Amino acid sequence: MRGGRARLAVLVSGRGTNLQAILDATRAADYPAEVVVVVSDRPGAYALERARQAGVPAHVVPWSRDPADFGRRLAEVLDAHQAQWVCLAGFLRILPPEFVQRYRGRILNIHPSLLPAFGGRGMYGERVHQAVLASGAVESGCTVHFVTEDVDAGPVVAQARVPVLPDDTVETLAARVAEQEHRLYPEAIRRVVTGQVRFDDLAAAEQLAR
């Protein structure tokens, strides 16, 4: 690929199974991206350990009361590693608008539902699966989307569907969705970094559909 592999920063807050799926994908010689830095807002995140085990620089940038300040400190770390793309993988903070604008069209997130259903502020982790079960939906899944200033509402890159079974608990549904997340995220990253899917095209199509 011209210019080498795309340089990814992965932002995490927790256990990092999606980070692991991305790291595993990058081991294939023909995968078009590499993880150049992992950043957590929480020092205890197990995802940091996964980064270290894979030989990838791992940094903690503690959350700040001033989100713009957090955004600036985060951008400094990303710049130091010449990151081109930002992948949120279980990152639990809402990025400040200045940061989102600076990386416009270059930030991806994965969400454990079929957006726009069961998304938005406060909809993360188990709460998503609880809400899906409570709604009586017969289907759920996961979504990779571009990050914009509107939480969980940026253009959709890819989705995967799973059935919701009658005897499902939050745990069984979460596990079924997670399996799809780990397949979907590396594939969505591939499509975006190779230019098969472009933010501007998706944003323009959504504008037309409105």
* Active site members: 111
**Structure tokens, 8:** 């990814």
The alpha-carbon radius of gyration of the chain (Å, integer) is 17
Q: Does residue 89 belong to the site contacting ligand GRF (CB under 6 A)?
A: yes
Stretches 11-19, 51-59, 147-155, 163-171: which one binds ligand GRF (CB under 6 A)?
Answer: 11-19
Kindly tell me which of 45 and 75 has the beta carbon lying closer to ligand GRF. 45
Q: How far is the CB of 1 from ligand GRF (least distance, A)?
A: 26
Cβ contacts of 36 within 8 Å, gap of 6 or more: 7, 8, 9, 56, 57, 81, 82, 83
Q: How far is the CB of 207 from ligand GRF (least distance, A)?
A: 26
The residues in 152-191 that bind ligand GRF, with binding defined as CB under 6 A, are 181
Kindly tell me which of 99 and 201 has the beta carbon lying closer to ligand GRF. 99
b/e per residue, 95-116, with b = 16+ CB within 10 A? bbeebbebbebbbbbbbbbbbe
Among 90, 141, 154, 186, binds ligand GRF (CB under 6 A): 90
Instruction: Report CA dihedral (190, 88, 102, 60) to the nearest 10 degrees.
Output: -130
Q: How far is the CB of 192 from ligand GRF (least distance, A)?
A: 17
In terms of Cα–Cα distance, which of 79, 85, 41 is closest to 190?
85
Could you count the other beta carbons within 10 Å of the beta carbon of residue 2? 3
Contact 36, 114 (CB under 8 A): no
Q: Tell me how far apart the alpha carbons of residues 34 and 23 are, in angstroms, rounded to a whole number.
A: 8
Among 6, 14, 87, 164, binds ligand GRF (CB under 6 A): 14
**Structure tokens, 164:** 């919701």
Q: How far is the CB of 124 from ligand GRF (least distance, A)?
A: 6
Stretches 14-22, 33-41, 63-71, 188-196: which one binds ligand GRF (CB under 6 A)?
Answer: 14-22
Q: Does residue 132 belong to the site contacting ligand GRF (CB under 6 A)?
A: no
The H helix count followed by the E strand count for the chain is: 7, 7
Overall residue count recorded for the chain in this entry? 210
Kindly tell me which of 72 and 179 has the beta carbon lying closer to ligand GRF. 179
Q: How far is the CB of 189 from ligand GRF (least distance, A)?
A: 14
Among 15, 104, 176, 191, binds ligand GRF (CB under 6 A): 15
Tell me which residues touch ligand GRF (CB under 6 A): 14-18, 89-90, 110-112, 142, 181
